[in-house]
Amino acid sequence: MFPTCRAVLGNEAWAVALAACPEAAGPDAFPDCLAGGAGPAVPPFLPDLARLELTVGILSDASVPRPTGSENLTVNPTVRLVELSWKGLCSLLPPAKTLDEGSPEQGIELVLVWRDPRTDVVVARPAGNEDLLALKMAAEGLSAEAVAADGRLPVSAVDAVIDRAVRSGLVLSPPSRLRRDPAVFTAKQKSDEDFLTADSFTLQWHITQVCDLHCKHCYDRTDRSPLTFEQAVRVLDDLHAFCKDRWVRGAISFTGGNPLLHPRFLDIYRLASERGFGTAILGNPAPREKIEEIVGIQMPSFFQVSLEGLREHNDSIRGTGHFDRILAFLEVLRGLGVYSMVMLTLTRDNMDQVIPLAGLLRDKADVFHFNRLALFGEGANLALPDRTRYRAFLEDYLAAAETNPVMGIKENLINVLRREKGIDLYGGCAGYGCGAAFNFVSLLADGEVHACRKLPSPIGNLYRMTLADIYDSEEARRYRLGPSACRGCDVRPACGGCLASTLSHGLDIFVDKDPFCFRK
C-alpha cells in the first residue's frame, strides 16, 4: 500500500515507523501515525505522501469497478481530490521513485486521483484550473456556451477543455453516436469493434471550384454557385451542432478546386479554428507568406499536395514545372513545421512509378499515399491496371514500406492481404474502411453533399437541410451499409472496397463488391 513511503524511508526507518502505529491499526491510520511522530528519520512531507499513496491504493483495488460512460457528461465516479500541504509529491510515485534535490516543497497543492476508464490504471496529478473547470461543468451540467460567455472566451476553448478532460478520463462522456448498423454485422465482424464506431467526423469542404491547374484526371470541372461568407458561417455552426449532438470531434479538410483561391479563405479558416475544429488543407503550392498566415491562425493537421509520378509523367498530367514546384513547396512546409502529405492518383500508366516516387520523397514529405483513379469526369479518359497486376503491386508496395517510413497505407484492400498473413486489420481509407457517409461527407460550394467526392453520390443539400437530417437520411444510410456482397466478409469492418471503383466499372455500388477485390 505504501511502497513509495518505504522507499523514501529505507528499511530501518520503515520498521521504526510501523512500530509506532497501534498493532490493530489498518492502512487508513498509517498517515496519522506518521504525523503523530514515528521517529526522527521521518521527513515532514511523509504523512502527506502516505495519504496520497493510500488514495492510489484504494482506487487500485480490483473491487473498484472500472468507470463506464453514461448518457450525459459526468464526473468519473472514481475521482478523488486530495488536499496536501506539500507540493511535488506526485513526482515521487512510480515510475519516478527517486527524491530529486529541492523537492517536495512546502505549500498547499490539490491533487486529483482517478482510475482511467480506458487503461484501468490509477492516475495522480496536481489539479490544474482546466481540470477543475471541466469537473465543475460536468458536475453542474454547465454548457460550453454559458461558460464561454461568462469567461469571455471562445466556445472552442471551453470545448477543448472538456475534450482534454474526457481524453484523460477525468470526465466521462456519452459514447459516440456514429456507429455502424449492428444488425448487418456478424459476431466475428463485431470483434473488430474499433472500426464500427467513429470518434471524429470530417467535413471535406470544397469551398470553391476555382483552380490554378487543369489536370487530365480531374473528376469535376462543373460550374457551381460560389460559396458566400454567410453560407460558410451557417455551415460551421451546423457542423458544430452536429458534432456536439453525436459526441464526436469535428474536423474540416478544406479543398476545392484550390481552397486558397477563395477570396475569404482565411476568414473561413479562422472561424473554423474558433469553433474548435481540426483543420487540414488539400491544395496546391502557395507562397510562404500565405502558409505563415494560415499557421498564425491554427496549425493545420496536414497540408496535402499531389504528384502523379516522376517529373515527366507528373508534368504531363498536371502541367509543366508542377513537379519542381511541389518539391520546393514541401521544403516550405517543412521549414514552417507543417505536416506534409503527398497524394498520388494511381492509374495503369503511373503504377510502376509509385515506389520510386516514394523513395524520392523519403526525406522531403511526412507521408505519401495513393488512391486508385475514379473513372469520372476527365479521369474517364485514363485507364486502371487489371486486378492481378494490382495485387502484385500492393504486395511490392507493402514490402517497400517496411524500409521507407514515408509510405503510408490507405487502400482498403490491403486489409485482405493483412488478413491472409494473419496481421491485424488497419483503418484503411478513412480510418474505418470505406467512410462514405459514416465518418465523413463531402460538401460542395453550392451546398450539395456527397457521401464521397470520388464518385457522384448526392445525399442532400446543406443549404436546405441540416447535416443531421442528411446524415440520418435513408440515402446516407445506404452508402454506410455499402455493397451487400461484402456483408459476410470478415474484413468488412475495415474495408468495404472502393465504391468509386465499383461504379467506374458500371456495377451496382449497393450490391456488387469492388471489382479489384481478391478476397476468396
Give the 3-state secondary structure of 95-149. Answer: CCCCCCCCCCEEEEEEEEEEECCCCCCEEEEECCHHHHHHHHHHHHCCCHHHHHH
Q: Is there a contact between 341 and 304 (Cβ–Cβ < 8 Å)?
A: yes
- Whose CA is closest to 124, among 47, 46, 53? 53
- DSSP letter at 460 equals E
pLDDT confidence band for 190 (50 / 70 / 90): low
> With 80 as the cut, is the pLDDT of residue 221 above it?
no
Query: Is the preceding omega at residue 257 within 30 degrees of 0, hence cis?
Result: yes
What is the per-residue pLDDT across 266-289, written as a single tens digit (0 to 9) for each? 999 999 999 989 999 999 999 999
> With 60 as the cut, is the pLDDT of residue 101 above it?
no
What pLDDT is recorded for position 220? 66
What pLDDT is recorded for position 22? 80
SS3 453: coil
- Whose CA is closest to 472, among 245, 276, 253? 245
CA distance 148 to 157: 8
What is the per-residue pLDDT across 118-146, written as a single tens digit (0 to 9) for each? 889 999 999 999 999 999 999 999 999 89
Cell of 313: 509523367
What pLDDT is recorded for position 12? 87
pLDDT confidence band for 210 (50 / 70 / 90): confident
pLDDT confidence band for 154 (50 / 70 / 90): confident
The pLDDT of 422-427, averaged and rounded, is 90
CA distances from 242 to 110, 149, 176, 467 (A): 36, 21, 12, 7
The b-or-e profile of 367-388 (16+ CB within 10 A means b, else e) is bbbbbbbbbbeebeebebbeee
> With 60 as the cut, is the pLDDT of residue 97 above it?
no
**Residues of the chain by 3-state class (helix, strand, coil), percent to 5:** 40, 15, 45
pLDDT confidence band for 100 (50 / 70 / 90): low
> With 70 as the cut, is the pLDDT of residue 219 above it?
no
The pLDDT of 375-404, averaged and rounded, is 90
The pLDDT of 32-48, averaged and rounded, is 80
What pLDDT is recorded for position 37? 65
